[in-house]
Amino acid sequence: MPPDQADGLKDSLDDMGLGYTVLSRDVQKIIAFQNPPRAAGRVNRVRRKGHPYTWKRYHRYEDMTSYMFYLASAYPQNAQVITIGSTSEGRPLFVLKVFSNDELQPRSRNATTTRAKRAKRASYHKPAIWVDAGSHAREWIGPAVAMYLCMQLVERFLDHPHLVTDADWYILPVLNPDGYEYSHTVDRLWRKTRSTPELATGRLFSPRSPCDGVDLNRNWDFNWGDRKGAADDPCKQTYAGPRPFSEPEARAAADFILGRKERIQVFLTFHSYSQMFLLPEDASFRRLPDHQELYNKALIAARAIGRVRGTRYQIGTASELLYTISGSSDSWAKSVAGIKYSYTMELPDRGRYGFLLPASLIKPTAKETFIGVKELVQAIVCRPY
């Protein structure tokens, strides 16, 4: 809030007997120092490494996609970039598929041998993991962690080969690239997509209006539009959209997942902040029958994360730990796509920086999150060794 309004708000809170805590005295200062500028040697780094990506800053969408294509080019036996759709502003949506080379099809004329057919069948029935991030534009740490996951699974495949030999991975680092770019160039705390409100709303909106866009995590077709967990006003941060899957980003991800729902055994979506594992709920915002089983698996991951540098995660439903959410991706994945182990991970921190986690914390956060995801997947999918 503007400094000249702070005293008035404090007086109002005091009059109502409400306590408060100041988390940040200068948000703009945090924004200014959160992300270091691009290094002058970026061009040389691209020539030397083949991509501009580092773990020292939050990168723009172009850098992220450049790194994904680099991985697919440098490690064709383990990585492939798949275009699954485009955004309302025309940006492509890229998924990095990570797989083991035993599923590569022979390129000789004898590709239809019994061995090739057997490999193809094995690949088709291979379990899969879905990971996405960046539904909410301002939550930069999620895409950064997703990119770190790509790096670990591909460039450091030999450090943990079973994670890839036992499962395929589909990683969508930025589900909302339009909003993500807007948060870099115009409004650092922008949350929604950048679609234009439909004329059917009967209201007129100006350019750069807060009424642009939809909350992607309220736009999925499960319990969509329930006012207990979403807004029907386009000007609200939690606007669910004019209809379920009105946003091409959510629609593209859902179609891709449904086409592989028989194989996908784990659904993970990265958000921030709060340090929580959120478990899906039913349409009445209640726990599901297998809640305890999902809780136990999340606990394995949470404990693994805690052993890295002491970061503590809470585990529960959104209604229990935060607030009610309708039209969420995790509940859709669980109840519509039928993916048993569906989770939302609210990444660090717990409020000191909030959405403005400094770039210096990217690598520590990514390292511990990868350890947690690794333990979770090993507990659910990977074969014992």
Contact yes or no for 202/225 (Cβ under 8 A): no
Instruction: Clarify whether 346 is annotated catalytic.
Output: yes
Distances (CA, A) of 97 to 42, 82, 159, 171, 371: 27, 7, 18, 6, 20
In 3-state terms, what secondary structure has residue 92?
Answer: strand
Residue type, 306: G
| Residue 138 to residue 189: CA distance in whole angstroms | 5
DSSP result, 187-231: -TT--S--PPPPGGG-----TT-TTS---GGG-SSSSTT-TTT-B
Within a 10 A sphere around the Cβ of 313, how many other Cβ atoms?
A: 23
Q: Which residues are within 8 A (CB) of 152 and not within 5 positions of it... i.e. 6 or more apart?
A: 159, 160, 370
Bridge-partner residues for 79, per DSSP? 98
| Residue 205 to residue 196: CA distance in whole angstroms | 9
In 3-state terms, what secondary structure has residue 152?
Answer: helix
Q: Which of 73, 79, 94, 81 is nearest to 164 (CA)?
A: 79
Residue 127 has what DSSP assignment? -
Q: Is the peptide bond before 341 cis (omega within 30 degrees of 0)?
A: no
Phi and psi torsions of 7, nearest 5°: -60, -40
- Token pair listed for 188: 């650092």
The active-site residue out of 139, 247, 249, 346 is 346
Contact yes or no for 98/78 (Cβ under 8 A): yes
Catalytic residues: 346
